[in-house]
Structure 1
Amino acid sequence: MTTPINAVPVASAPTDSPASNPVRTASESSAETPTVRQFFRRNTFWILLGIVALGVVLLSAILRGGASGTSIPLAADSPAPDGAKAVIEVLKNQGVTVHVADTAAEADAALVENPGATLAVFDGAGYLDSDRLSEIVSEAGRTVLIAPDFGMLQAVAPSVRLAGSPDEDEDAADAPAAACTVPAAERAGSMASGLSFGIDDDTSIGCFGSGPADAPSYPLVVTNDGISIVGPRAVFDNEHIVQRGNAALALNLLGETGDLVWYLPTTADLEASGPPTLQALTPDWLVPATSLLAITALVAIFWRGRRFGPLVVEDLPVTVPSGETREGRARLYQRSSARGRAVDALRIGATGRIAARLKLPRSSAVVEVADTAAATLGRHPSEIRALLVDAPPTSDRDVVALSDRLNDLERDIRHATDPLGRNS
C-alpha cells in the first residue's frame, strides 16, 4: 500500500534542473524575490519611521549648530539675554564700525588696519594667555576689559586687584553714584553691580565705589594708560543694558573712537602644550564620512539581509510507500529514545482507523472503540484495551511487538467488517 504525498512545503528558490521540478504551479510566482516596488510597499511603515527619525536627527543638529554661535556670552550677533547684539547694533547706528574678532590673530589684524581703534575684550573662559593679551592691548588706542580675571589684571593693570562682588540688589534705589571724573561714568550716573576691584596706587581712578572708606571697591576702574576695567558683565548684555545707566556707560566706553574691535577669545587662542590631541589630528571630514558610511551600511543590511520569500505549496508527482514512511518515523523515534511518543502515534493511528471501520464517530472515546472492537471480534474487552490503552511498553522490543499486534488487530477488524475485501 502506498501513500501519495499531495502537498509538501518547499522553499521558494527555484531549482537548477528542470527534471528535478517537473511540475510548477501558479503559486510559485508569489514566492519570487520581491521587486523594489513590492519591497517599499511591504516596508512602508519602517521606511517612513526611518525617514522621520533621520529628519529629527538632522533638525536637532541644525538647531544645535545654529544656536552654537549665540550661546557664547556677549556674542556680538546673539539676541539671547546674555548676548551683546543690542549694544553692538546701537553702536553701528551711531557710526561706529565694529570689527568682530574670534582669535588673537584677527584682533591683531583689525587693530593694525584701524590704528587708534577701541579694543573690547571679554575672556570668560580664560582662553587667552596673559602675554598675548599684553601684546594686543599695546596695539589698541583704548581698551575696555570686561570682567577680567587675576591673570588679565596682572598683565595690563598690576595696580588693580580683584575685590569680590558686593551683595546688592540690582534694582536698588540707593546705588552708588559715579563719584569720579570719568566722563562716561558721569554721563551714566549709575551702573550694574557685580565684580569689583581695589586700587593700590593713584595711577587709576575708581568709579561707583562702595564698601568701607579705608578699603573701597569699584565696579569701574580707569587707568592712566586708557584702559577701562568693567567688572559687571551685565553692563553690556541684552538683559541688563536698559537698567540703570548701563546703556550710557557701555555706549560711551565703546564708542569713543570710530572703530571698535570686539574680541571674544576662543579655543583657537589656547597655546598648544604637549603632543596634539586626537581631536586636533582628526580631519574635519572624518566624522561626516563615518556617519554616512554607517547609515549606508545600515541601509544595505536592511536591504540585502532579508530572508527568502514565503513558503509555497507545490504538488510533487511522487508516491512513498506507507511502510517506508512508518519505518522512517520509527527510526527517528528510536534515535531520540522517544518511546512514549512512538507508542502514542501507533495507538492513535490504529484507534482512528479501527473507529472508521466500525462506523463509530470520530469523537468516540478509546474505551468505546476498544469495547466495540472486542464485541465485533468476540474477544474480551480487556485484551483490546491493553493493546489500545492500558499496557505501556518498556523497551524497543515491546514497541515493535505492539506495532505488530496493532497491525494484526486492524487486519482482523477489516476481515470481520468486510469479509469479501471489497473496501480494502
Structure 2
Amino acid sequence: MSSLDVSTPGQPAAEHAASTAAPTSRRSRRWLGWVVIVLLVLGAALLIMRISNSASVPFRGGGDPDATGDHGMLALTEILRDQGVDVEVVRTRADAIAAISDDTTLTMTDPYTLSSDAVRDLLDAANDVVLLSSSTRMLDLLELGETTSASTSAAVPASCDLPELAKVGEIHPGRLFIPGDGVTGCYSDAEGTAALLVDESSGSRRAMIDGTRLFGNAYLAEDGNAALGLALLGQSDHVVWYVPSFADGDIEAQAEPSLGDLTPEWVTPAIVMLMLAGVAAALWRGRRFGPLVAETLPVTVRASETMHGRARLTAKAADAGHAAEAIRDGSIRRLARRLSLHERASAAEVADAVADRLRIPRAAVQELLTGALPASDDALIDQARRLSELESAVDDAVRAERGTR
C-alpha cells in the first residue's frame, strides 16, 4: 500500500507536465516560423531598395565621352586632351549654349530628347558642329543630304579635298549617306554615297558621320579611326561635347488628370486599412499547411542556363532584330508594371503612359518602343542604352511622385 500511495499521486503530475510542454513547443515553433518570414520579407525589401537606388544612377554608355565601355568615347576624349584641346562635357542645353564661343567645336550624338526647334537653337550657337550620328532627322535639320541603306565592308580612303583629312588613313565606314547639293562627301564608295558629310558653304562647318562604332573605345585603334576623330574634333582649341538625356527634354506633354487626382483623399487610407484587415483575417482563419514534401525530379534545368543558351544561339545567328525584340519586350513589360498598367497593355499604351509621366514628346517614345527593329549590333547596343535610360527615368519619376504624396 505504501508503494501505491507514493506512485499514484506523482504520475498524474508528470502526465500533465508533458501535455502542457507539447503545445508550448508547437506554439514556439509556429511563432519562430512567422518571425523568420517577417525577417525574410524585410531583407527582400531592403535588397529591392538598394537595387532601385543603384538603377537611378545615370547610364553612361554608347557615345558618352566619359564612358569606359566598348562603345564609350573616353579614349577619344583623352587623345584630344593630350593634343592640347580643352574638352568640356556638358549634359544640359543651357550649359552647352553658355560654353560655346566663336572658336568652339560643338559635338554630340543624336539629341533624341530634344525638339527640332531646340536642336536648331543649339546648332545656331556654334560655328563648327560635328554630329556623331546617323539620325535621319539630324540629316534633314542640317540639310546635308539623304539617308540610304547602302553599306560597305571594305576599307576606303578619304577621297575628298579637305586638308584636315590629308594624313588620315583608310577606315571601315559605318552608315553611308547621299550628299546634298554643295555638300562634300568623304570616304565614298563606287555609287557616290559617303560616310562623312561636310558643309562649309555658309561660312560655318557642319559635319556628320556615324561615329558610334568608329570612335568607340574598343575600335578607336583600328585603321585611321583615331586620326579621323582628331581631324574632325581637333580643329579648334575648345570642344563642347553635349550628351543628351531624358532629363534635358524640352517639351512637356499635357498630362490628363489621373485616377489618383480624381479620387477623394480618404479613399487611399480606406483601401490600405481594408487590405491590412484582409491580411489579418487570412492569418487568423487561414488554413495551416503541413511541411513541404521534397520530390526528386528526373532532370533539373536552371533558368540561367536556358537564358544563356538562347543568347548564344541569337549571337551565333547574328540576329540583332530578334535580340532587340526580346530586349524591347522586356522593357515594355517592366515599364507597364512600374506605371501600374495592365500586364497585357500594348506597346503604344505603354509609350503614351511613359510620355505623360516624363512629360516628353510622344513621338520619341513611340519610335523607341514601337519603331523598326535595329539591323546591326551597333544599333542594337544604342537601342538597349536608350531603353535603359528610359526605364531609369520612369523609376525616378515614379519615386518622386510617391515621395510627394
User: What TM-score, normalized by structure 2, do the two folds share?
Assistant: 0.52
Residues 40 and 235 from structure 1, CA distance in 2 versus in 1: closer, same or farther, beyond 3 angstroms? farther
Distance 1:40 1:99 in 2: 61
Q: Which has the larger radius of gyration?
A: 1
Contact 1:192 1:244 in 2 (8 A): yes
Partner of 1:411: none
Contact 2:62 2:212 in 1 (8 A): no
Residues 275 and 130 from structure 1, CA distance in 2 versus in 1: closer, same or farther, beyond 3 angstroms? closer
Partner of 1:256: 235
Partner of 1:391: none
Distance 1:191 1:47 in 2: 61
5+ residue gaps, structure 1, are 1-24, 283-289, 308-424
The alpha-carbon deviation at position 105 of structure 1 amounts to 1.9
Aligned residue-pair number? 256
Partner of 1:118: 105
1:86 and 2:75 matched:
yes
Residues 44 and 253 from structure 1, CA distance in 2 versus in 1: closer, same or farther, beyond 3 angstroms? same
* One-letter amino acid of the structure 1 residue matched with residue 165 of structure 2: A
5+ residue gaps, structure 2, are 1-15, 262-267, 286-405
Q: Which runs of 4+ in 1 moved over 6 A?
A: 25-32, 37-40
Q: Secondary structure at the match of 2:103?
A: coil
* One-letter amino acid of the structure 2 residue matched with residue 179 of structure 1: S
Partner of 1:167: 151
Distance 2:152 2:122 in 1: 34
User: What TM-score, normalized by structure 1, do the two folds share?
Assistant: 0.50
Picking from 35, 40, 45, the partner of 1:49 is: 40
Distance 2:82 2:52 in 1: 34
Residues 137 and 184 from structure 1, CA distance in 2 versus in 1: closer, same or farther, beyond 3 angstroms? same
The alpha-carbon deviation at position 257 of structure 1 amounts to 2.1
Contact 1:206 1:220 in 2 (8 A): yes
Q: Secondary structure at the match of 1:134?
A: helix
| Higher relative contact order (Cα pairs below 8 Å, separated by 6+ residues) | 1
Distance 2:257 2:224 in 1: 48
Distance 1:228 1:167 in 2: 19
Picking from 180, 183, 195, the partner of 2:163 is: 183
**CA deviation digits over 1:107-137, x for unaligned, max 9?**
11222xx44211002116x322233222222
Distance 1:242 1:88 in 2: 14
Distance 1:40 1:93 in 2: 67
Partner of 2:86: 97
Partner of 1:60: 51
Q: Secondary structure at the match of 2:146?
A: strand
* One-letter amino acid of the structure 2 residue matched with residue 206 of structure 1: G
Contact 1:76 1:84 in 2 (8 A): yes
The alpha-carbon deviation at position 250 of structure 1 amounts to 1.0
Distance 2:73 2:22 in 1: 67
Contact 1:96 1:258 in 2 (8 A): yes
1:246 and 2:225 matched:
yes
Q: Secondary structure at the match of 1:57?
A: helix
Q: Secondary structure at the match of 2:226?
A: helix
Residues 42 and 198 from structure 1, CA distance in 2 versus in 1: closer, same or farther, beyond 3 angstroms? closer
Q: Secondary structure at the match of 1:132?
A: helix
Partner of 1:392: none
Structure richer in helix, relative to its length: 2
